Structure 1
Amino acid sequence: MKKTLILTSALVAVGAAASAQEVNVVSWGGAYTVSQVEAYHKPFTQLTGIKVNSIDADNPATPLKAQVEAGNVSIDLADVELSDAIRLCDEGLLEEIDPAILPPAPDGTPATEDFVDGAIQDCAVASIVWGTVIAYDKTKFPGTPPSTLADFFDLEKYPGKRGLLKAAKRSMEMALLADGVPNDQIYEVLGTDEGVARALAKLDTIKDSVVWWEAGAQPPQLLADGEVVMTNGYNGRFFNAIAAEGKPFEIIWDGQYMDYDLWVIPKGAPNLEAAKQFLAFSTDTQRLADQAKYISYGPARKSSAPLVGLYQDGVTEMGPHMPTSPENLENVIWTNPTFWADHDVELNERFNAWLAG
């Protein structure tokens, strides 16, 4: 607690001097960015006087890479997926982050021991654990509803359009798991030409019924508009549609794809010191727990979990809706960020050629 107070005092001390400062933070938009604004941005500005400018992108890694390579950087922080964080760091496009700037847990446990495995990287610090899951419109299946990943690919038993991410990542792993590849062998199989062909063959079985999506806000909207009866998408987006908007959706956790989102700072960030302050503040124990009031993503710190309580409606317990809830982890695909850092370009070329075929 003492160390946390020291950090808070330090932030307050710079507040007056930083009042004219600002940080430009790029994230994914929609309900997710709202959760960040409420849990991170507003209290950070209140504490330090530093203005946070929130900018949306379909994938924040894309404008970050373009800006650094062009030598014209306006982004101070970006929220990216783990494989992108590793790849951008390897390419020398990110600032290295000293874990010493991260506050300890309230009981004094160092940040390096408090974050879940893999959450602290050389150039990135995770805030959330999230899942890509399947959701369906309950009104479209009044009898026996779908309940497994295999059901997503069963057009005979569950007819109707499917929504699917327009990318190799997540789509190909889902296909292999649905085709019977064990969870712990997915990347071994996907690393072979035969495995890629097997994934695409499984996707072929539903290709003519797929509506492809690219931005995280699209899957709940596709369901709500009746354009699809079932779609994959981010668990927090579906939760928001159910809890905040009253949509008749149900989540299928079977076969969920688990990943991290992390803060990164681009090389040449115009407000580097303020960016580091924001990163440290927004990944402390309380802030990560606070975010869970607004969206059902799991905090990346162990000490945050006991502080996760009710949704902003004051009624809904958030625990069961977290991708990290034990009952939701029975058949999970854990991302292999190194695999995707190495193979993302190659497999997306294969995937796009298949799409065009």
Structure 2
Amino acid sequence: MSMKKLSILAGGVAAAAISAGAYAQEPVNLTIVSWGGAYTESQVRAYHEPYMEENPNVEIINDDGSANALAGLRAQSQAGNVTWDLVDMLPSDAQLACDEGIILPIDHDEMLAPAPDGTPASEDFLPGSLGECFIPQIVYSTILAYNTDLFPEDAQPDAIEALFDVENYPGRRALQDRPGTNLEWALYADGVAPEDIYDVLATPEGQDRAFAKLDTIKEHIVFWTEGAQAPQLLADEEVVMATGYNGRIFNAAQVEGQPFDIIWDGQIVEWDGWVVPADGDNVDAVMDYLYYATDTQRLADQAKFISYGPARASSAPLVGEHADLGIDMNEHMPTNPDNYYSPIVLDNDFWTDYGDELRERFANWMLQ
């Protein structure tokens, strides 16, 4: 481990985490990896552009590689050529990367800003959201969305059961090409309570039950890989409903004017956040950026551009109107009480333990 990394892990870089611009003002390019689309745009407007304005020596380069972030980090680490400086990653993948030592552990209270009232970061970030190597930004959800033009006004779908009901809601459905969300919803639609889903899915019988439920709609499924595909499939009327990220569907409906609506029933709630690759060339600069980009105001600012809830408790009261549309963003947040009535909170420990075997089984099932 380099001396630079040792100094960070020992808390010896407090100066690099005091305020923006605390490190030496040398020209630096930071390659920041995220998901693309409306989500990356929200980061650019809330974090990147304000930070670069305050730090003109920094140039942020966006890379839309988060869909394959774990594989990318592994490959760069094995090659001894780490070119990514900061990566937006899901918690389950972050835990695997952390266990493998290819991302850096984080001392949250040392490296992250406290809340405005002095509450330490470890107490201000929402319970369960912080990981050993993971800094959350947002609470988002995977939801079921539908094209309102494709159903009669008096027969619009309103529950996850509609996904599996091709008789009353005919048409093709778009599902992401991974087991997560699909297996949970299969059990939920088959009568398993949200709080029991992962206990059932941890058993061979529960897994068989979930795949059997998916079998009932398999001939009606279109699979998508990238987040932008779900709203595009809906807009093109290639499918009548689709799983998707709530922020993408919000953007398509509210910004682009697409006739989409969200079914909040059974929403799969998850964190998304940052990890710092080990052996990167710009770790001090990255930590300075992270201190800025994950403070209370910046996380609240992101909600001006996309309908994801901030991961800090102190940020929630600062959520207001959309920067361009002028609409109240609170009602579009996954955590709004009107939307949060039957959530399924994604169990990252489950997917860390069972993910490899279920991904293999799901991939084989897709090809059958």
Look up the equivalent residue of 2:336 and give its one-letter code.
Answer: S
The Cα RMSD (Å) is 1.4
Contact 1:102 1:111 in 2 (8 A): yes
The match for 1:22 among 26, 29, 34 is 29
* Cα deviation, residue 245, structure 1: 0.2
Gaps in structure 1 of 5+ consecutive residues: 1-5
Contact 1:170 1:257 in 2 (8 A): yes
Correspondences of 1:38-57 after superposition (within 5 Å): 38-49=45-56, 50-57=58-65
Look up the equivalent residue of 1:48 and give its one-letter code.
Answer: N
Look up the equivalent residue of 1:168 and give its one-letter code.
Answer: P
Report the count of equivalent residues: 350
Q: Which residue pairs with 1:35 in the alignment?
A: 42
1:131 aligns with 2:138: no
Write the distance in 2 (CA, Å) between the matches of 1:55 and 1:26: 5
Look up the equivalent residue of 2:74 and give its one-letter code.
Answer: K
* Cα deviation, residue 65, structure 1: 2.3
Write the distance in 2 (CA, Å) between the matches of 1:312 and 1:225: 28
The match for 2:258 among 220, 230, 247 is 247
- For each residue in 1:262-285, what CA deviation from the matched residue of structure 2 results, as whole angstroms up to 9, or x when unmatched? 100111112111111111111100
Look up the equivalent residue of 2:339 and give its one-letter code.
Answer: N
* Cα deviation, residue 315, structure 1: 2.2
Write the distance in 1 (CA, Å) between the matches of 2:334 and 2:19: 35
- What is the TM-score with the length of structure 1 in the denominator? 0.95
Write the distance in 2 (CA, Å) between the matches of 1:55 and 1:266: 14
Contact 2:20 2:289 in 1 (8 A): no
Q: Which runs of 4+ in 1 moved over 6 A?
A: 6-9
* Cα deviation, residue 343, structure 1: 1.3
Contact 2:31 2:61 in 1 (8 A): yes
Write the distance in 2 (CA, Å) between the matches of 1:59 and 1:202: 28
The match for 2:343 among 325, 332, 353 is 332
Q: Which moved more, 1:91-100 or 1:221-230?
A: 91-100
The match for 1:106 among 107, 113, 116 is 116
The match for 1:312 among 302, 323, 336 is 323
Contact 1:77 1:265 in 2 (8 A): yes
What SS is found at the alignment partner of 2:157? coil
Identity of aligned residues (%): 50
Write the distance in 1 (CA, Å) between the matches of 2:93 and 2:159: 29
Look up the equivalent residue of 2:47 and give its one-letter code.
Answer: Y
1:82 aligns with 2:67: no
Contact 1:73 1:268 in 2 (8 A): yes
Write the distance in 1 (CA, Å) between the matches of 2:22 and 2:102: 31
1:352 aligns with 2:360: no
- For each residue in 1:197-235, what CA deviation from the matched residue of structure 2 results, as whole angstroms up to 9, or x when unmatched? 111111111110011011111100010111101001100
Write the distance in 2 (CA, Å) between the matches of 1:178 and 1:18: 55
Write the distance in 1 (CA, Å) between the matches of 2:26 and 2:60: 11
Write the distance in 2 (CA, Å) between the matches of 1:263 and 1:9: 19
Write the distance in 2 (CA, Å) between the matches of 1:301 and 1:85: 19
Contact 1:293 1:311 in 2 (8 A): yes
